[in-house]
Structure 1
Amino acid sequence: MKISMGMVTASMALTLASCASTSDKTATDIGGSQQDAIQTVGVVPPPAPPAPLPTRSESAAPQMAVRNSAAMAQLQVMPAPPMPMQPVLRERYDGKEVSPVHLTQSEPVSTFSVDVDTGAYANTRRFLQQGQMPPKDAVRTEELINYFRYDYPAPQDRSVPFTVSTDMARTPWNPDTRLLRIGLRGYDLPRAERPAANLVFLLDVSGSMNSADKLPLVKAAMRKLADGLSPQDRVSIVVYAGAAGLVLEPTSDKAKIRAALDALQAGGSTAGGAGINLAYATAEANRIEGGVNRVILATDGDFNVGLRDQDALIELIEQKRDSGITLSTLGFGGGNYNEAMMEQVADHGNGNYAYIDSAMEAEKVLSDEMQSTLFTIAKDVKIQVEFNPAIVSQYRLIGYENRALREEDFDNDKVDAGDIGAGHQVTALYEIVPADVKGWIAPRRYDKDKTITSAKPGELAFVKLRYKLPDGDTSRLIERVVPTSAMASAGPARGDMAFVSAVAAYGQLLRGDTLLGSFDYDDAIKLAGPQTDYWRQEFTRLVKLADSQSAN
């Protein structure tokens, strides 16, 4: 059923936009059920907003609908008054404690959902480039690791959508332990074989977006995404400020998309809930059977009108996800940035979360990696590792704190998990203690068995993966044995293993991990070694920034 364009009136948008103020956007915007779990932190205020563009007065017209980009070009939302500069602004993160150590004899099984989000890396970079250390709750080490690509073999055919690789090295920060790496790589999808995409850009044009690092960057990012689409794809644009409106009906005309984006201005409060409902309704009305149907939300996450309760928001997104419409989120700006909401709703929407802090990051996420972002090849991907207590006495998973699952969740196809897009890679690192080596946890006085024997002495660990095909409801299983010989042959970390270890150490240092001993940022730089790739070279520069700023 097509949506009536009369749903949205120009006068509603103008009235609410001109009356709303951004001064009441505080940390209380998140629902009470999440308030205690979310930490607010002070950050450097963003750059002063640019001078507002000239506006045109409008008479009241209750039934005048915004129907297309031409109408949008005439409708200029009145910018909100400049927000007074505050000495401290507030951002929201939902951080978890660093993963604990586990005794293999009592907890041999580790289970978690895959994660291909990268937002924490770019957001951390934003803090460092502003001369600040990022708050610990903003750092998720697995997202730092998965920001980069590694030399994993590609699948030979699509009967299994991704390959599974394992390798091991001595831990650079602890000579008594070993690092076990598990790597997944999805198959590449040639452009000619891509399914058609029905994309709804849901863009925040509220007053809080009125700064150079927000709405202008949103426009640039959306242009990048639109430029990579094919004639079979369709784009709609929904905006929300004081009210939500459909400003571009579905089209593959890139000139119309650019014109609609160029016409956008920021002003008003944030009717996020109404915007999400309209975006999903638009996606449903233009659904492509067998294609990609996705809402892409671009915002600073500062909802203050409508659907405020984060639990209610997540419930809505899960309902739409089950109908086949997924949600990805793109975060922008700082000061009032609600990363807790952005990351969680993308996870529950079977989409991806990325943070866009520059035009280069927009190019990377929405042009270079577009097919990974949009085209899912496996969903509900879970990893379960069972360690042999006769070979491994203790272990810990580095990162994935907010992706942990219960052991019984692994075989339960009703439990939601992460998705893998075409060409995506996922990396997980375990730090393990050999059975004959003193570990982090001292021996217990009342342990019954001091000597553990195994019926499978040749196995160090057993790796299992479950996944569903994009249109499937029943999971498939992949199993791999990690041989005991991998520990005996483990040498110093080199090449990709050295670099991924350096990124893991960088993340854990930012998080305040006490198990890194005396290993520091300078050690991480040396471990990463010289690089030729731009993004890896930038990583080294960021580690140096963290080193200098941590000393202040």
Structure 2
Amino acid sequence: MKKLIISLTLFTLLFLLVGCTNDNQGGYIDSTYVNQYEGENEHQEIIEQPFINTEVNNKSNISLSANTAAYSFIRSQILNGMSVNKNAVRVEEMVNFFDYNYNQPINNDVFGFKAEVFQTPWNEETNILLVGLETKKVDLGNVPNNLVLLVDVSGSMSATNKLSLVKQSMKLLVEQMNEDDLISLVTYSGKEKIIFKGKSANDLEEINKEINGLSAWGGTNGKKGLKMAYEVASELFIDDGNNRIILATDGDFNLGMSSTDELVEYISSKRESGIYFSAFGFGYGNFKDEKLERLAMAGNGVYHYIDDILTARKAFIDNIDGLLYTVARDAKAQIIFNSNSVLEFRLIGYENRTLSNEQFEDDQTDAGEIGTGLQVTAIYEVKLSDNINEDFASLEIKYKDHVINNDEVYNNSFIISNNVLTDTPNDDSLFISCVLEFGLILLDSNYLGTANLNSIIERLESNDYNKYDYYRNDFIELVKKYQKIIA
């Protein structure tokens, strides 16, 4: 599966690419991938969750997701000096982009659990409850891959931050594979085409040559491209292996069956075959964010946005195992608050992933998929009782394993005890609070309180821990860049 040794040379090259550009690019984005604007982007409307009185309803249900697309998209907008569409701000995906020191699963659990409650930095009357989950790490050394790279080469992909970056990203992905892994390349525009199929990942020179030869032209018949990709994946299907289609596109389907509902229905009909489907978005301008998120969810896959070589590295090198191997299907969480300890709660993020109590209990609910070794964070703003002598809440996670035709439901249960309340939150919690506050500012939230950029930057820079994590350090520079834009 994944080649475990990533060369120092590659890491150094990535560091130089994102660290040695001029100031008008924010100091950390390769000029090769400057965004080009050619239309309006499409996002699902974000409607914030209100505070809920626990005497009225003490349950909160969410479909779990390790998607990170929103953070990368927002990052792209800011780096290019553009205004941020608040409907692009999915706060949970901003938080999920980064890595934390969460607890590993114990015994036979798939999920490890960690929680902390601390004072809200922008509202002295509330607290933040962080619930951090991490999935078990699976040794994938003997799990073969059958990957079909489905690449949009239509005219809309001609911008330099689209097809050029797709090529770089796909080559990073293929470099992580082993000799037993099969790679296929299917393209679509006005016409779908199999560039090659079933090549050993060891045939790297020939694969890279074909990827480099891709060019953009014509319309976008995504439905036919999807059909061909599924045909190839089915023909090369590996029993007990990882069979997955990787879509790279800006989401602009304009020929054939192109409505989101039709595409979702088609992909949903195929997921029982054991072929997963993941979507990777590229480019800015006429970008179809909502569509790609729905397609990935329909295919039991993940959705990420790639805005430069840094985020390509995060997806295709750092998180490659989690991208390729699912350990929890239809994963959903329910938190039941103790009304003696928590008077009110408000879920931050997950606006388009909330579930009703009935949906949580229904084992047929299509929920989220989480890969091996990945982390998911749920965040609540809570109003606490004056006297806290009891646990805060209980947490139940329901999921199915990765075997498509096995619908047995598993449960992991945890107690969020009152000893997680602290006056000195850990480094991860402090950083997450900064990401949350920044997200609320970008959302122009109704719950901003005293949230401000100066406070975020001060807290980030006062913690040396952040300076030793490249992605966190990049976030610090991003906040500063945004502050300059709006000044």
Tell me the equivalent position of 2:161.
213
Mapped partners of 1:352, 1:428: distance in 2: 18
> Is 1:540 matched with 2:472?
no
Match of 1:5 in 2: none
Name which of 229, 233, 244 aligns with 2:192: 244
The CA deviation at 1:420 is 1.4
1:235 to 167, 176, 183: 183
Q: Residues 334, 502 of structure 1: CA spacing in aligned structure 2 closer, same or farther, 3 A cutoff? A: same
- Equivalent in the alignment of 1:9: none
Counterpart-to-counterpart distance in 1, 2:253 and 2:32: 21
Q: Report the equivalent of 1:484.
A: 418
2:117 corresponds in structure 1 to 168
After TM superposition, the structure 1 stretch with the greater mean CA deviation from structure 2, 333-342 or 119-128, is 333-342
Per-residue deviation, 1:89: 2.0
**2:420 is the alignment partner of 1:470:** no
Query: How many pairs does the alignment contain?
Result: 448
Match of 2:438 in 1: 506
Q: 1:132: which partner in 2?
A: 82
TM-score by length of 2: 0.88
RMSD: 2.0
1:378 aligned to which of 325, 328, 332? 328
**Structure 1 residue 538: deviation in Å?**
0.7
Equivalences for residues 334-349 of structure 1 within 5 A: 334-349=284-299
With over 3 angstroms needed to count, the CA separation of the structure-2 counterparts of 1:190 and 1:48, relative to structure 1, is: closer
Alignment deviations for residues 21-57 of structure 1 (CA, whole Å, 9 cap, x no partner): xxxxxxxxxxxxxxxxxxxxxxxxxx9999xxxxxxx
2:97 pairs, out of 147, 155, 165, with 147
Q: What TM-score comes out, normalization by structure 1 length? A: 0.78
* Paired AA for residue 182 in structure 1: V
Query: Conserved in 2, the CA contact under 8 Å of 1:378 and 1:470?
Result: yes
Report the Cα offset of residue 549 of structure 1: 2.2
CA–CA distance in structure 1, aligned partners of residues 117 and 436 of structure 2: 15
Look up the SS of the partner of 1:307 in the other structure: coil
- For residues 457-504 of structure 1, give each alpha carbon's deviation from its aligned partner in whole angstroms, at most 9, with x where no partner exists: 6222111111111113111112212223444xx214341110011111
Q: Deviations over 1:164-216 (max 9, x none)?
A: 222211111122211111111112233524x1111110001111111211111
1:261 equivalent among 211, 218, 231? 211
Alignment match, 2:14: none
After superposition, the Cα gap between the structure-2 partners of 1:161 and 1:229, relative to the gap in structure 1 and judged at 3 Å, is: same
- Structure index of larger Rg: 1
Kindly, what percent of the aligned residue pairs are identical? 35
Aligned letter for 2:113? V
Distance in 2, Cα, partners of 1:179 & 1:218: 38
CA contact (8 A) 2:33 2:161 kept: no
Q: Matched residues in 1 for 2:272 and 2:105: separation?
A: 28
Q: 1:501 aligns to what SS in structure 2?
A: helix
Where does 1:63-212 land on structure 2 (aligned, <5 Å)? 89-156=39-106, 159-193=108-142, 195-212=143-160
* Aligned-partner Cα distance in 2 for 1:265–1:349: 27
SS at match of 2:159: coil
Match of 1:68 in 2: none
Amino acid at match of 2:438: Y
What pairs with 1:311-326 in structure 2 (closer than 5 Å)?
311-326=261-276
| Equivalent residue number for residue 519 of structure 1 | 451
Q: Does the Cα contact within 8 Å between 1:172 and 1:493 map onto a contact in 2?
A: no
